[in-house]
Amino acid sequence: MTLENYQAQLAQNLPQTDLPWLADLRQGAADRFASIGLPDRKVEAWRYTNLKPIQARLFEVGPFEADTFQADRVRAGDTTPALLSDSHRMVFSDGLLIAGAQDLPDGVSLKGMAQVLAEDPEILTDHKQGIGAIRDLPLPTLNRALSRDGYVLVLEPGVIVAQAIEILFQSSTGAAYPRNLILAGAGAQVSVVEHYLGTSEDDYLVNGVTEVHAATGAHIKRYKIQRDGPGASHIATLAGQLEADARFENFDLNLGAKLARSEIHMALQGHGADASLNGVYLLRDKQHCDNAILMDHVVGATNSHQDYRGILDDKAHGVFQGKITVQPDAQGIEGHQLNKTLLLSDTAEIDSKPELEIRADDVKCSHGATAGELDEAGLFYLRSRGIPEAEARQLLMAAFIVETLGHIDDEAIRDVMDGLVTDWMAS
């Protein structure tokens, strides 16, 4: 199946086909994708990542079941795995909502995208086109054409959500195009965990988009835990816009998938906005993980921080492309970026490309990238104290990323991440 018969075979699989603006939006996206196609490696942003493996699966979008969003009915018998013992949970399976969140506090709305389109599409009025920075990019464009569902989280001003929101995206086959939206009103606070989990070894595709709008003084923490299946391709695009004094903390833990790409476009649009984007990638076998970040200091007195660290074994391939842009007159900004990779084998590879584009003069920016092996002297020291080699290696690996994990300030979530990281190191 290809885009040529989009209307005939693909569009009808989507929810709310009778909304004219939506049908137009999708068709426009489909047309655009048909003309631009997938980026190849001549495109600088995709220089290190080959998308050929996803080509065959792009259009395997299953049918939309109209009653999917009345999914609370399956809540009682829900046996999907939860990472947090105490959270508001929502579950998607192969791109469709199967279990909705319950008992949400006042001022919080968390629904499936399909449900929002059916029940109150006006929520989306200002967000139909999506954030400009990613609107015309090939993969978000394809997502706009093919997305069946996703989550929409709306926080009214001043709402502080005490429990974290945990959203499970489990996948086993085909192609899923989750489209997620977080709208945080002024001063609202929330922690969201997006957990991508593979339940098969199939070469399925996830191509998701998450958009974040943080109004003045809002504080959003978003954690992505990527544990897609060993044959899967996981493509994710995150775009955020932060107004004055808004804070956004993002943490990407990349463990799964054969091919992973996590692209982030963050715009610091109001004075005092602050973004902290951090991540850990742990790869082995022939896994490929590409983190690409574009941090845009649009106005002055904004801060950003990036700390990405990875451990690569076997023939794994890591990529880090991080760019900090400081727009003209965005004075008094601070932007820092760090990428460190530990290579456990001679055949593992990291391509690290930090970039600064500064068009203002009163700025404090830094970037750094290192790649190295496990410290032989440290390993000997630990073993000379009786610590078996495997355990000593784990201690040194854990030490390598402990600072990055330290950026997670929700204790329960950090414990979950610690546990997953420890499991990876021990296996």
Partner 1 sequence: MTNMLEIKDLHAEVGGTEILKGLSLTIGEGEVHAIMGPNGAGKSTLSYVLSGRDGYEVTSGSITYRGQDLFELAIEERAAAGIFLGFQYPVELPGVSSTTFLKTALNAVLRQRGEDELDAVQFMKRLRVHTKSLNISDDMLRRGVNVGFSGGEKKRNEILQMALLEPYLAVLDETDSGLDIDALKVVADGVNALRGPTRSMLVITHYQRLLDYIVPDFVHVLAHGRIARTGGKELALELEEKGYGEFADAPHGSEAA
Q: Measured from the CB atom, is 46 or 308 closer to partner 1?
A: 308
Smallest distance from partner 1 to CB 411, Å: 17
Q: Which two tokens stand for residue 55?
A: 């080509």
Q: What are phi and psi of 118, to 5 degrees?
A: -80, -40
Smallest distance from partner 1 to CB 341, Å: 15
395 binds partner 1 (CB under 8 A): yes
383 binds partner 1 (CB under 8 A): yes
Among 66, 388, 422, 423, the residue binding partner 1 under the rule CB under 8 A is 388
Which 351-380 positions form the footprint of partner 1 (CB under 8 A)? Answer: 375-378, 380
Q: Do 49 and 234 contact (CB within 8 A), yes or no?
A: no
Smallest distance from partner 1 to CB 375, Å: 8
* Rounded (5°) CA angle 105-107-109: 80
- Rounded distance, CA 403 to CA 413, Å? 15
402 binds partner 1 (CB under 8 A): yes
Q: What are phi and psi of 394, to 5 degrees?
A: -60, -40
Smallest distance from partner 1 to CB 388, Å: 5
400 binds partner 1 (CB under 8 A): yes
381 binds partner 1 (CB under 8 A): yes
403 binds partner 1 (CB under 8 A): yes
* 400 φψ region: left (φ > 0), alpha (ψ -120 to 50), beta (else): alpha
415 binds partner 1 (CB under 8 A): no
Q: Measured from the CB atom, is 36 or 402 closer to partner 1?
A: 402
Q: Measured from the CB atom, is 40 or 403 closer to partner 1?
A: 403
What is the end-to-end Cα distance of the chain in Å, rounded?
A: 39
- Rounded distance, CA 205 to CA 203, Å? 7
386's CB contacts (< 8 A; 6+ apart) are none
Smallest distance from partner 1 to CB 278, Å: 15
Tell me the window of 174-182, 267-275, 355-363, 396-404 that interacts with partner 1 (CB under 8 A): 396-404
* 21 φψ region: left (φ > 0), alpha (ψ -120 to 50), beta (else): alpha
For residue 315, give the H/E element and its range.
none
Instruction: Cite the DSSP H helix spans in 357-410.
Output: 376-383, 389-405
Q: Measured from the CB atom, is 365 or 398 closer to partner 1?
A: 398
By CB under 8 A, how many residues form the interface with partner 1?
23
Residue with structure tokens 């004055």? 244
Smallest distance from partner 1 to CB 402, Å: 5
391 binds partner 1 (CB under 8 A): yes
For residue 422, give the 3-state DSSP assignment.
helix
- Rounded distance, CA 264 to CA 241, Å? 11
Smallest distance from partner 1 to CB 337, Å: 20
Tell me the window of 69-77, 254-262, 359-367, 393-401 that interacts with partner 1 (CB under 8 A): 393-401
Q: Measured from the CB atom, is 38 or 395 closer to partner 1?
A: 395
Among 384, 411, 426, 427, the residue binding partner 1 under the rule CB under 8 A is 384
Q: Measured from the CB atom, is 21 or 381 closer to partner 1?
A: 381
Smallest distance from partner 1 to CB 252, Å: 20
- Rounded distance, CA 58 to CA 64, Å? 16
| Residue 123: burial class (beta carbons within 10 Å; 0-12, 13-18, 19+) | middle
Among 145, 192, 209, 382, the residue binding partner 1 under the rule CB under 8 A is 382
- Rounded distance, CA 189 to CA 201, Å? 37
Q: Do 337 and 309 contact (CB within 8 A), yes or no?
A: no
List of residues contacting partner 1 (CB under 8 A): 375-378, 380-389, 391-392, 395-396, 398-400, 402-403
